Amino acid sequence: MLVRFGFVAMSMQVKNASPSKTMTASAFEKIADREAALRKLVRLAQENLQNTKRLLYHCIGHDIRFYRFSSRLLPLAGHDYIEGLDYFSLLKDDFYQVGEVVRKHQIRTGFHPDHFTVLNSPRCDVVASSIASLDRHVKMLEAMELDQSHKCNIHIGGSYNNKEKAGRNFINQFSLLDRRLQSYLCLENDDKTFTVAETLAIAEEVGAPFVLDIHHHRCNHEGDLLTDYWPRIVTTWKDEPFPPKVHLSSPRSESQMRAHADYVHLDDAVELLRGAAEVTDRLDVMIEAKRKDEALFRLIKELASHPAVTVMDQASIRWKES
């Protein structure tokens, strides 16, 4: 099994390259000259896109072909204050430049809209802003000229005291989305509410790929063994150009089980790779650790001494279990 590793949004090695620079709503309010404030927002967004490009070059230089964009590229996006501001026409070229690097170097990218994107909420305003957020994320991918193989990954949402009903509500809301949005989505199990079993069943029903988060699974499962789900997980990716993707992280501590640790524990990685190797010959692993790309490089280094591992380059390995 060929395994490629990726990281999220920012680098611990590339300095002054935040792709998430922003302005608070209250700071925006305090600027008397609204036009000047809007210009500053556009400048921040432009910096975020240019830094994203720098981060992509960093990836390329280290053989990394899997990267998740920051979901905060556009400051105050969706906020009432900036109504009428068209980031997309103003930053057309910046978006295009990012996409150009991605396509030229065949990097797998995507977004993870924040957990306030809740499609199954009983509140109409929450659903509406969630759809608007998804639309914005897809617009960014389109502005980069990246097709549906680059996904927006979301969770199912809240349970509202009736998880089964909440799941059905998600399916209903999903079915009401434009096909354009649907085709860019993939679904991930979360650490509190929707387990692998529940999320996978929903993903199968709506025809979206399923992203396994091994850490969330550990926080939120019902004694179910992952081995029961691996074949079905892989099947949800069968029509996709890229291989199945999974999220890998370790708990910060026993008292902070849900929080992400600085680095990934080798054992967690090995456990994941063992399971995946039974069902797929390609896997993309998104590292979700505080130390970002440093955690990726450290994990590769640690994996190198495992008997089942052959290191291919700085960011990928071959797993060959005895």
3-class secondary-structure state, position 29: helix
- For the range 44-48, what are the long-range contacts, defined as Cβ-Cβ under 8 Å and sequence gap of 24 or more? 44/75, 45/73, 45/74, 45/75, 45/87, 45/91, 45/94, 46/91, 46/94, 47/21, 48/18, 48/19, 48/20, 48/21, 48/72, 48/73, 48/74, 48/75
Q: Residues 13 to 72: which contact DNA by CB under 7 A?
A: 18-27, 44
146-172 as b/e: b if 16+ CB within 10 A: bebebbbbbbbbbbeeeeeebbebbbe
CB of 190 to DNA, least distance (A): 10
Candidate list 33, 125, 222, 239; residue touching DNA; CB under 7 A: 125
Candidate list 6, 110, 113, 158; residue touching DNA; CB under 7 A: 158
Contact in structure between 169 and 161 (CB atoms under 8 Å)? no
Give yes or no for residue 195 binding DNA (CB under 7 A).
no
Give yes or no for residue 81 binding DNA (CB under 7 A).
no
Nearer to DNA, 73 or 315 (CB): 73
> Degrees (nearest 5) of the Cα angle 167, 168, 170?
65
CA distance 276 to 64: 20
Nearer to DNA, 176 or 259 (CB): 259
Residues in the chain: 322
From the list 122-130, 136-144, 275-283, 294-302, the region that binds DNA by CB under 7 A is: 122-130
Going by their DSSP bridges, the two strands 316-319 and 210-213 should be labelled as: unpaired
Nearer to DNA, 25 or 308 (CB): 25
Nearer to DNA, 1 or 77 (CB): 77
CA distance 251 to 162: 28
Of 158, 82, 76, give the one whose Cα is nearest residue 117: 158
Nearer to DNA, 44 or 140 (CB): 44
Tokens 């002054």 — which residue?
Answer: 16
Give yes or no for residue 10 binding DNA (CB under 7 A).
yes
Candidate list 99, 110, 157, 209; residue touching DNA; CB under 7 A: 157
CB of 118 to DNA, least distance (A): 4
Nearer to DNA, 105 or 192 (CB): 192
Residues paired with residue 66 on neighbouring β-strands, in sequence order = 108
Contact in structure between 222 and 190 (CB atoms under 8 Å)? no
Task: Provide the sign of the torsion angle of the four alpha carbons 286, 288, 293, 295, taken in this order.
Answer: negative
CB of 173 to DNA, least distance (A): 11
Q: Residues 233 to 262: which contact DNA by CB under 7 A?
A: 256, 258-260
Candidate list 52, 109, 193, 280; residue touching DNA; CB under 7 A: 193
CB of 73 to DNA, least distance (A): 11
Site string for DNA, 280-309 (x = CB under 7 A): ----------x-------------------
> Residue 211 has which token pair?
């992203």
Give yes or no for residue 116 binding DNA (CB under 7 A).
yes
Nearer to DNA, 194 or 210 (CB): 194
- Residues at the site binding DNA, with contacts judged by CB under 7 A: 9-10, 18-27, 44, 79, 114, 116, 118, 121, 123, 125-126, 129, 157-160, 192-193, 256, 258-260, 290
